Chain A
Amino acid sequence: MRNYLLPDFLVQVGEGCSACGRCARECSFGVISMESGRPVARHSRCVACARCVTFCPTGALRVVPNQVAHRHNPYWSVSLRHDLMRQAQTGGMLLAGAGNDLAYQSIWDHLLLDASQVTNPSIDPLREPMEVVTFLGAKPSALQVEARPEGTLRLAHPLPPQIRLEVPILLGAMSLGAVNLNVHRILARAAQETGTLWNCGEGGLHEELYEFGPSTVVQVASGRFGVHPRYLERAAAVEIKMGQGAKPGIGGHLPGEKVTAEIAATRMIPEGADALSPAPHHDIYSIEDLAQLVGAVKQATGFAKPVGVKIAAVHHVAAIASGAVRAGADFVTVDGFRGGTGAAPKVVRNHMGIPLELALAAVDDRLREEGIRNEVTLVASGGIRSSGDMVKALALGADAVAVGTAALVSLGCTLCQACHTGRCAWGLTTQDPKLAARQDLEEGVERVGNLIRAWATELREVLGALGINAVESLRGNRERLRAVGLDAETLAVLGVQAAGRE
């Protein structure tokens, strides 16, 4: 069949090219090859990952959008037309990597923060303490104390298990398989160094990383990949994955070609076999079943660590979150529709789920209405792009945020959305050892660590400007948010007033 698709991008070799061949070596999509000593491009394969441009020593390369004069039609966008052609050629479901890129309204960008002046002086975070420590775990709604014989007080009952996070930023779940072991090494060490947690995702935890157990959240997902007693024992916390924002309603799919020996051993499946997580957990068909699994995991871990549930932001997310809390979840991760993924059917990635902002507000409200907000740590994830988004998420009601895509971007990811091809030129979502080797451990740890430290510094700065010196006074404090350009219904869901209102 003749291919009607025109290249999305053009690779242009300009004047200064020294013909060093670096671009050809860097391109993992087979776009550039050296022919007669000159780089030559097969444009149609280019995904605009910008790897070649970044590494070209002479700055001679350009990757530009292929501006064909398709008749402008905002309704039938070029990318839609391309998708139709692709489907006409293959008859298959379109796969996509990374997160939903459609231009749905980003509510974060319509929320603005308050600042202090006069009556509530702002605080200088360089001079005054500014506390951002956060604890992951269920809290009782009231404390009971008892007096010791000498008159001092102590707790009558110890609290359920708590994990201290130096910053309210977690590294979100990315499975071994979706990313490679090098990336896991980086995330694990970065989490340890910054005093937070990373999440190994649903593909198990490589033996080599067991030493990072105290900084690790391990997942139990519908495929039960890599779940065994030591896995649970080593973890700081366990997360039962019920859903994922990028692909609510379906399980993770790792094609056999990505299942290397390492991954096979970690997932406890044969090498080269497809690792297909079933859409539902086959032992969870109702909320009672989830309660049983939460209970089973707690029992298996001696009630010594928080057990959480991750859910995708979908229409009934508030009811589901409330059910999860009542099922015993010590933390609930709400994953919004902008969340990333190694691979997902495009139709699901682009059209399912709801925005994190609304889901988070609805969940926090519901848990408060039911008087159980205290009993759970609420983690917001799925498309948190900046410390600004993080601060707004905290103000809407999250205890902490989890970042995946942002961490990958700190490691070089350019959001070319080619993760599902397994050819990530930045060595992230690929199992090709040559490509994976592009991630240098030391440098990667520093980059991810810097990202977390930078956001923490920015959080302190914002707290100071808000005139508060502890993050717990920001959490759920929607009074410090105002909205511009949102309709009344959205404002009501968010529990935020329009800008200009007192």
Chain B
Amino acid sequence: MVPGQVIGDLMAAMHDRSNGLGGGFAAYGIYPEMADSYAIHVIYDRDDHRSAVEQLLSAATFLVRSERIYTRPTPGIGVAPDMWRYFVQVPPANLGGLSEEDYVVRLVMRVNMELPGSWVVSCGKNLGVFKGVGYPEDIANFFRLEEYRAYQWIGHGRFPTNTVAWWGGAHPFSLLEWSVVHNGEISSYGINRRYVEMFGYRCTLRTDTEVLVYLVDLLVRRHRLPWRLLYAILAPPFWEQIERMSDPDRRELYTALRQVYGSAMANGPFSIIIGHSRGMIGLTDRAKLRPLMAAREGFRFYLASEESAIRSVAPNLDCIWAPKAGFPAEGRLLSQGVSA
């Protein structure tokens, strides 16, 4: 298990990639004693918005525990919204034919859509997202991340360009076990968004990256597609490459992926990290217009925009490489605390 200090230091090395308008972290494995409850992190722009969410959660779930997320005053962090975490379980009787995950997703969409001034920033089991407006290392300090130990950390520093900076708009974006951080821009956002809306997702966080996490949920969890097909949907091979595939079954499959999932293609410059409960994946757009480095040191796996960031916390790397455009770098969990 890795203390939050490490990811804070790693992000500090890439200070210049942010402008102080967004920093955030996803921490996997931080709530082992509550591992079978959904940990719902919510931000409230005003305290009086809290009761509506808590009423909804009490009615729709079994609320095991709720508490304010502890923070410390930190220079560089301005006025922060109120942030709470709720550990909930879903009574089977409430499901009404839905799977437990679908039920939680609907609940989250309802909070984000219908309840004013409240946004769910994460809702997975045994994980939590901490994010806000500030430099990532200050955000880490603000949320006292050194007090958490996770088997997997994902961090992000933001330099927002297309949308306004606000606490809910910082990365990572998370839903169930998935979390996504993103360097770049999703120029296809307009259609990606309309595509996931067809399947009941609602984009409410005013940032293009949000849609990626819904795409992962839709394609991997609901459509049950293997990871490698997710990559081929987000960053598909060019037609030219598909035509050169010698195995006709493979050619047919990749053709069909583009035909059926064209609206889910993430177009534009990006490098992203997708976190899930059993590992994380780095992926770039098919022209690799954003940097991404992957590295391994013993049983630890690293992904970052810059090599320097990785080396700042792991000076004795076994190997480091730059994944090819559109090809993933995957780290898989062997058992909790050990990755390869």
Using a CB–CB cutoff of 8 Å, the interface residues on chain A facing chain B are 116, 118-121, 123, 128-129, 131, 133, 135, 137, 139-143, 145, 148, 152-155, 158-159, 162, 368, 371, 373-374, 395, 466-470, 472-480, 502
Contacts and interface: CB of A to CB of B under 8 A. Distances in A.
A466 B263 contact: no
A140 B236 CA distance: 18
A464 B194 CA distance: 22
Nearest first, the 7 closest Cβ-Cβ pairs linking A and B are A479-B190, A472-B262, A473-B188, A473-B267, A477-B190, A154-B249, A120-B185
A142 B228 CA distance: 16
Contacts of A473: 187-188, 191, 262, 265, 267-268
A142 B262 CA distance: 12
B229 A153 contact: yes
Given A153-B226, A468-B188, A119 B162 contact: yes
Contacts of A371: 198-199
B249 to A, nearest CB: 4
A128 B240 CA distance: 12
Determine the main DSSP class of A at the interface with B: loop
B330 to A, nearest CB: 16
B199 A472 contact: no
B261 interface: yes
A396 B260 CA distance: 19
A368 to B, nearest CB: 5
B143 interface: no
A355 to B, nearest CB: 21
B269 A121 contact: yes
A368 B253 contact: no
A159 B194 CA distance: 23
A219 B236 CA distance: 35
A475 B262 contact: yes
A474 B190 CA distance: 9
Contact of A480 (B190, B222, B253, B257): B190
B197 interface: yes
A118 B162 CA distance: 10
A54 B177 CA distance: 69
B256 interface: yes
Given A129-B240, A145-B229, A470 B267 contact: yes
Contacts of B316: none
Given A120-B185, A143-B260, A152 B225 contact: no
Contacts of B259: 135, 137, 139, 159, 162
B260 A142 contact: yes
B256 A143 contact: yes
Given A159-B256, A475-B263, A478-B190, 20 more contacts: A121-B289, A123-B287, A131-B238, A133-B239, A139-B260, A142-B223, A143-B225, A152-B247, A374-B198, A374-B260, A469-B286, A469-B287, A470-B262, A472-B191, A473-B187, A473-B262, A474-B191, A476-B191, A479-B193, A480-B190
